[in-house]
Structure 1
């Protein structure tokens, strides 16, 4: 894929989502149940991180069971994971950081990518590869919205999906920044809800999140 075309695909995907639920999963069946719960609450885009042995199978089975959901592969660290995620049916790729070899693999991938960056130097390198939408990670440690505002000056046309340490109460602050197209977070799927298999709580959290996103965007318009 020509990387110059990536923003045209990534921006609408992320803008429609508003929030990208970030999941680390250990059980395939549970992953499908989580995805169903998020979808019932109005969130139809999610990221499954490639941090566990079950991740690729979970991604594949979620896509099979719920093809209407956009499922991204997160924590992609090298070109072999790029290939594996594509074969598993990922709709998009997300990285926490992006060395040049990984950036090249993302640019050549047939699906969109959201490459991670943490510094202006890393951002410039990704711009040179043609990427115009990036993941700012770890957002809260890097300064949160203050960092995003600082980046607007030298990079006025760049958009971010900040992720890392963002809480539900932070949504309005982050989504209020002009260079934020969406945010990544995990508050919609709390560990205690999974322990008790309280998928209704996940749906309720997803619905509340969706309603807040819609309200914030209606106000900004």
Structure 2
């Protein structure tokens, strides 16, 4: 996976914005960053695009800034000169794709059909935009297209909003979703940056979808664990499930057969995507115990402990 695409995968959401005035670029970038998203696609739908990209890349290097609606080589040159880290187009132009790639910049062209996707793959691309997503069948269509193109990653854009965000991101080959709903042109014009921050924060919360999966209780030995689990099951009518290392009482409480992690025990927090959960928690200042990381066959993290205890409990992330 290309380094830029990998970063976008961790971020998960790419706000797609049109700026009439480059002076709005920095307060917009700050609003998105405050809301938790550190990527932005500035579209070449206005004359201010190149100046806005230049300001953002110079003043906010922590943001991953791309250029969208790039239709010509001249626009690509302007975007790259301004500092854009990736280029996005609404459609598939083989000549434009080849030109951008020759400049050493990642390109994510818009595709809607198997023929366009195969042409993109023939040019060496591993990631494309699916556009317009909802008008082309939405998540069900993208799921069908993913089956024959298992090595191709997608960024659905067009009609993506809070209500269907998780449906798209649940597809394994979707590396990120692009959307205009986070920072609308009207909100930018009205300088409603607090509203943009709130909407962005809501989108991140929805995407991560944190859930308490279970609480783990430490025991000095197997006998104590079974005694505790039996008591819990008798009180709350939980199902008793004896495993090698612990006894689950229903799905809510895991009684360890030894003194496990955490002074008192552990808490399992589910997330729709553990890699994204890790990324956002690191942005909030948390660190992780690398020795506990588990990954699946595709290299995506499925299990990871936070480094420090909270209230006497160790916390680990796990996939919902």
- Other-structure match for 2:172: 178
- Other-structure match for 2:103: 109
- Other-structure match for 1:4: none
- Other-structure match for 2:221: none
Structure with more of its chain in strand, by fraction? 2
Larger displacement relative to structure 2 (21-30 or 210-219):
210-219
**What is the DSSP-based 3-state SS (H/G/I as helix, E as strand, rest coil) of the residue aligned with 2:66?**
strand
- Other-structure match for 1:22: 16
- 2:115 is equivalent to residue 121 of structure 1: yes
- Other-structure match for 2:280: none
Query: Cα deviation per residue 1:126-164 (whole Å; 9 max; x = unaligned)?
Result: 100000110000101100011111112210121100001
Query: Cα deviation per residue 1:96-129 (whole Å; 9 max; x = unaligned)?
Result: 1122211211221222121211111111111000
- 2:45 is equivalent to residue 47 of structure 1: no
- Other-structure match for 1:61: 55
How far did residue 89 of structure 1 move?
A: 0.6
Aligned counterparts of 1:220 and 1:84: Cα–Cα separation in 2: 41
Aligned counterparts of 2:203 and 2:102: Cα–Cα separation in 1: 34
How far did residue 54 of structure 1 move?
A: 0.6
Query: Cα deviation per residue 1:26-76 (whole Å; 9 max; x = unaligned)?
Result: 011112111110011111101000111111011101112211111000011
Q: Which runs of 5+ in 1 are unaligned?
A: 1-6
**What is the DSSP-based 3-state SS (H/G/I as helix, E as strand, rest coil) of the residue aligned with 1:178?**
coil
Aligned counterparts of 2:68 and 2:194: Cα–Cα separation in 1: 25
Aligned counterparts of 1:192 and 1:51: Cα–Cα separation in 2: 15
- 2:203 is equivalent to residue 201 of structure 1: no
Aligned ranges 1:77-116 → 2 under 5 Å: 77-116=71-110
Structure with more of its chain in helix, by fraction? 1
Q: Which runs of 5+ in 2 are unaligned?
A: 210-271, 275-317
Contact 1:10 / 1:133 at 8 angstroms: preserved in 2?
no
Aligned residues: 215
Aligned counterparts of 1:94 and 1:178: Cα–Cα separation in 2: 21
Change (3 A) 1:209 1:53: same
Per chain length, whose mean CA-contact separation is higher, i.e. which structure has more relative contact order (CA < 8 Å, sep 6+)? Answer: 1
**What is the DSSP-based 3-state SS (H/G/I as helix, E as strand, rest coil) of the residue aligned with 1:161?**
strand
Answer with 1 or 2: which has the greater Rg: 2
Aligned counterparts of 2:17 and 2:174: Cα–Cα separation in 1: 21
Contact 2:70 / 2:76 at 8 angstroms: preserved in 1?
yes
- 2:178 is equivalent to residue 169 of structure 1: no
- 2:122 is equivalent to residue 131 of structure 1: no
Aligned counterparts of 2:102 and 2:17: Cα–Cα separation in 1: 26
TM-score (norm 1): 0.92
Aligned counterparts of 1:17 and 1:100: Cα–Cα separation in 2: 28
Aligned counterparts of 2:95 and 2:201: Cα–Cα separation in 1: 39
